[in-house]
Chains A and B, each alone.
Chain A
Amino acid sequence: MSLVTRSLTTIARPLAPAAQGRGFRLPRRLPILPLLIAGVITLPILLLAAELLTPKLDLWAELWSTVLPRMLGNTLLLMAGVGAGTLVIGTGLAWLVTAHQFPGRAFFDRALLLPLAMPAFIMGFVFMSLFDYAGPVQTAWRSLFGRSAPFPDIHAGGGAIIVMTLVLYPYVYMLARSAFREQASVTLEAARALGCGQTRAFWRIAIPMARPSLAAGAALALMEAMTDFATVRFFSFPTISEGVVRLWEGRMDRVAATELASLLMILALALLLVERQLRGRARYHQQGGKGRRPVRIALKGRRAWGAFAICALVLFAAFVLPVGQLILWAISEIDGHVPGTWETVYGQYVGNTFALAGIAAVLTVGVALLLAHSGRIWKSRLVSGLTRLSTMGYALPGSVIAAGVLLTIAPVDHQLNDWFGTGLLLTGSIVGLMYAYVVRFMAVAHKSVESSMDKVKPSMDEAARTLGARPLDILRRIQAPLVANGVLAALILVFVDAMKELPATLLLRPFGMDTLGIWAYMLAAESFWQAASIPALTIVAVGLIPVIILMRTGDRA
């Protein structure tokens, strides 16, 4: 078939398959791939949801009369606090470093990503130990101002909100920063030429144009906050996620835990809707390739040092302080080291953690690419609905996903064993855990991949199709190179998140596959902070590798 005929066919039916008669192909009208992906990803959630068909009303009544109001209130408070905190800090810092010139700007531009390497629960136990009653800060406070000098109660929610904001703001910062960078300099310069000041340009142009990125970043931060159980537990600030784990552990009551998790699912759905609403239908495509960077306004005098101080303060609180404390603990731990203790398992935990997180990242991002690509090819409600289903897992607690995955694969496992005598092929291996990771981290990967795909103008796809490219060719030859940074960011985010993940890892890891995160959490939960500092520091150090890569590639953007 000649190029001309093919082009004619395509022009006649622009969204229909182009190259006819090239052997077997899947019918393009039916979104098989997204259906398959969404099916596999939602199966655990559906199986768990099926258990809800028989709601335990008396259980709900009891929960409502005892612990539920407080957990619900705490969850909403946490989300409001972390949402506002990460948006203000993330967006503010991103604007500061992209649109202004001040001492240390180039350094902070990258360094402010460092807290990405810090899991919330590690930050949580470091802050708890520093700022609670017996900690050095309050002890010094009392010795300065007397025994009854008032100090804010870190258990009232403030502590958990501050810790999570400091750990999660980089999600907003990273996406806001690249959004601000990619805004054509001409737009801002035109605004300035028309007499628009820096503040006004920020509110009227930069923020509205960056809105999709801000919404995506804040949504990531909030979902992370919503599923956390360890940090809020350190601060005695029980949320619904913490309740799910508690019902599971305290009562060994999977049904009750699942019922509570369904409430969380509703909250997550609401959050997704809000995020979609904030992103709106608008798509800002930059015409004419990557423009010059916006001209940075040089800050002078007090304002310059103010900008420096803000960046330095955030970086100190979110990274220097906790890492410094961990290093001090690690030094005293190594000083008083008893041979035959932690060093016997250390290398193994490092290997396990790295392997699990690496495989999880590749798998998840691979599926996310296919999913995001499908979303562009089939611009149908069905596919976008399937996509939304496929990214629900991030908002669910790891323990709930773990339960769903176990429900899904355990029968398969037993069947396989009956047929082939394979033993626990799936549940005893990394398959179950990887399944849970893919379900759980699909949103991280997909958001990042999709945001970067949004930058690829639909006209490019259309041009390619007009020229006869098949959908997978478009993905490989046009979209993939253009979205490479987004894919890299997705890989890094999933890797780091998988490394930090606790509950699903706890329940599904294959025998002997303990990770650094589990090790650190167990020790920290018992206040063995010195001992916990060794795995914790390792997590931070490993987490730094992808963050440093991210900083470098971020420079090219």
Chain B
Amino acid sequence: MTLARWRFFLLVSGLIVVLVTAPAGAQNTPQVVNIYSARHYGAIEAAFTAFTEATGIEVRLSQGSAQSILERLRAEGDQTVADAIFTIDAGGLSLAAEEGLLQPVESEILDEAIPADLRDPENRWFAVSQRLRTIMYNPETVDPSELSTYAQLADPMWNDRLCLRPATHIYTISLVGGLIEELGEEAAEAIVAGWVANNPQYIDSDTRILETIAAGGCDVALTNHYYLATLLDQDPDFPVRLFWANQGEEESGVFRNVSGIGVTTAALNRDNAIKLIEWMATEGQAADVTGIPGGNYEYPVNPEAELNPIIETFGEFKIDPIPLNEYGRYQDMAVALLERTGYGF
């Protein structure tokens, strides 16, 4: 090898070493909080920008599904770079907590801001916004008096009129997990089988389901409330209405899920992560884009926070009191049930 080639070789090797080790060296930068996030992009950037402006702490996001975040956290063990995980599902958080991947956080601010039923009993994770999965309908073809419960959508009157999200999606899995918790596996299976017998259209996007209702493709559907809010914000005359499910005297209320956040056991920037959660539970509860619930038209967890005017029009409702950490327990059972009943995927 000539000298010139050696130089080139050394340069290239040096570059590779730098590229390979650069991320490892970045771990100790101060005033940073590293988050593994299952929240989709678009709705939280403005809130995190507001947090950085308020505190000077930079938020670094790495995005993935709740499941891949768990896998990654397990694989990385105590060497993870994640200071906190932020998910759209209480199930993933409780699982992470049970596996010892999250640590308890003692904070008076959080104790005050977040009601006890919206956080882990041992304070290993905290809900920061609430989403409700409920019934949506076309007011031209459906009278709200025809609607009542999730179970009622199994009635043959909804044959060829129902739109559902496929079994693959965590929203469907969590909803069916809720039915199992509420009514037992057998009754839940009968309900899901009834939905399937109604020959539903499976559409893998809540927004698209609502647009399909608007276009006349189906009359009723199950979606999260905030997708309708987003569409109503773009077009106040969007022709779909929300119906709160399971509100009767004997019924226990609409199913809730939360997006929540927990500090990892191995967090290097623990204090920054706690500051972020405290901010999320207080100023970050704003009803506009600078808030965690606001940017996404979700319900705040802090009882003192204001409601976004659009979701205020959805009115009062009661929420099923299933403890949030119970949701994760039924996920496997829900997936198996969905497959057994031939629910679309």
Interface set of A (CB-CB < 8 Å, partner B): 62, 66-67, 129, 132-134, 138-139, 142, 147, 155, 233-234, 236, 238, 242, 246, 248-252, 254, 338-342, 344-345, 355, 359, 406, 410, 417, 422-425, 427-431, 506-507, 509-514, 518-519, 522-523, 525-528, 531
Q: A238-B345, A246-B168, A531-B41 are in contact. List 12 more A-B contacts (CB 8 A).
A: A132-B208, A138-B215, A236-B203, A252-B70, A341-B289, A344-B45, A344-B49, A425-B24, A429-B23, A507-B68, A514-B62, A528-B40
Q: Within 8 Å of chain A (Cβ to Cβ): is B301?
A: no
Given A236-B344, A341-B42, A342-B41 in contact, is the A249-B24 Cβ separation under 8 Å? no
Cβ B46 vs Cβ A340 within 8 A: yes
In the complex, which residue of chain A has the Cβ closest to the Cβ of B23? A510
Of the 9-residue stretches B3-11, B73-81, B117-125, B256-264, which lies at the interface with chain A? B73-81
Indicate which residue in A248, A417, A430 contacts B79 across the interface (CB closer than 8 Å): A417
Q: Which residue of A lies closest to B64 (CB)?
A: A506
Cβ contacts A to B, 10 pairs, < 8 Å = A236-B166, A250-B170, A345-B61, A423-B24, A428-B76, A511-B82, A512-B61, A514-B61, A527-B206, A528-B40
Minimum distance in angstroms from A286 CB to a CB of chain B: 35
Q: Which residues of A contact B60 (CB under 8 A)?
A: 511-512
**B149: CB under 8 A from chain A?**
no
Q: Which residue in A242, A342, A410 is a CB contact (below 8 Å) of B45?
A: A342
Task: Tell me the bound Cα distance from A132 to B208 in angstroms.
Answer: 9
| Residue B65 at the chain A interface, CB threshold 8 Å | yes
Q: How far is the CB of A129 from chain B (nearest CB, A)?
A: 8
**A507-B64, A511-B34 known; A133 and B24 CB under 8 Å?**
no
CA distance A106 to B216 in the complex (A): 46
CB proximity of A65 to chain B, nearest CB, Å: 9
For chain B, residues 313 to 345, give those with C-beta under 8 angstroms from any C-beta of chain A. Answer: 331-332, 335-336, 339-340, 342, 344-345
- With A234-B204, A512-B62 in contact, is A425–B21 under 8 Å at CB? yes
Find chain A residues with CB under 8 A from B24 CB: 422-425, 428-429
A-B pairs with the 7 shortest C-beta distances?
A527-B207, A133-B217, A527-B205, A134-B211, A340-B49, A66-B339, A134-B215
A251 touches B332 (CB 8 A): yes
| Cα distance A238–B173 in the bound complex, in angstroms | 17
Whether, in the assembled complex, B20 has its beta carbon less than 8 Å from a beta carbon of chain A, the answer is yes
Give 1 or 0 for each of B21-41: 1 = CB within 8 Å of chain A CB. Answer: 111101100000010000011
Q: How far is the CA of A114 from the CA of B325 in the complex (A)?
A: 50
Cβ-defined contact, A509 with B49, below 8 A: no
Minimum CB–CB distance from A430 to chain B (whole Å) comes to: 6
Indicate whether B71 reaches chain A with its CB closer than 8 angstroms: yes
Number of A-B contacts (CB under 8 A): 163
Cβ contact within 8 Å between B81 and A424:
yes
Beta-carbon contacts of B53-71 to A below 8 Å, as 1s and 0s? 0000000111111011011
Indicate which residue in A410, A429, A512, A522 contacts B40 across the interface (CB closer than 8 Å). A522
Q: How far is it, in angstroms, between the C-alpha of A351 and the C-alpha of B345 when the chains are bound?
A: 35
Which residue of the partner chain A has the closest CB to B24?
A423
Residues in A whose Cβ lies below 8 Å from that of B42: 341-342, 523, 528, 531
CB distance from A464 to the nearest CB of B (A): 22
Cβ contacts under 8 Å, A142 to chain B: 216
User: Which residues of chain B from 163 to 203 have any CB-CB distance to chain A below 8 Å in the complex?
Assistant: 166-168, 170, 173, 201-203
Q: Do A341 and B40 touch across chains, with their CB atoms under 8 A apart?
A: no
| Chain A, residue nearest B167 (CB) | A250
Given the known A-B contacts A340-B49, A417-B79, are A513 and B23 also in contact in the complex, defined by CB atoms under 8 Å?
yes
Alpha-carbon distance between A341 and B117 when the two chains are bound, in angstroms:
31
The interface residues of chain B lying within 8 Å CB-to-CB of A506 are: 64-65, 68
Q: Does A66 lie within 8 Å of B340, measured CB to CB?
A: yes
Indicate if B19 sits at the interface (CB-CB under 8 A): yes
Contacts of A424 in B (CB 8 A): 24, 76, 79-81
Tell me if B345 and A523 are in contact (CB < 8 A).
Answer: no
A250 x B205 contact (CB < 8 A)? no
How far, in Å, is B18 (CB) from chain A's closest CB? Answer: 11
User: B336: which A residues are within 8 A, CB to CB?
Assistant: 62
Distance from A9 Cβ to chain B, minimum over Cβ atoms (Å): 26
Kindly list chain B residues whose C-beta atoms are within 8 Å of the C-beta of A155: 202
Give the residues in chain A near B40, CB-CB below 8 Å. 522-523, 525-526, 528
State the CA gap A310–B22 with chains docked (Å).
50
Write the chain A residue with the least CB distance to B342. Answer: A66
Nearest-neighbor residue (CB-CB) of A511 within chain B: B81
Q: Is B217 touching A525 in the complex (CB atoms < 8 A)?
A: no
- Bound-state CA distance A252–B98 (Å) is 15
Residues of A within 8 A of B340 (CB): 66
A429 touches which of B20, B216, B217 (Cβ 8 Å): B20
Check B63 against A522 for contact (C-beta < 8 Å). yes
Whether A250 touches B41, Cβ cut-off 8 Å, given contacts A428-B24, A510-B23, is: no
Known A-B contacts A406-B75, A428-B81, A507-B64; A527 and B208 likewise in contact (beta carbons under 8 Å): yes
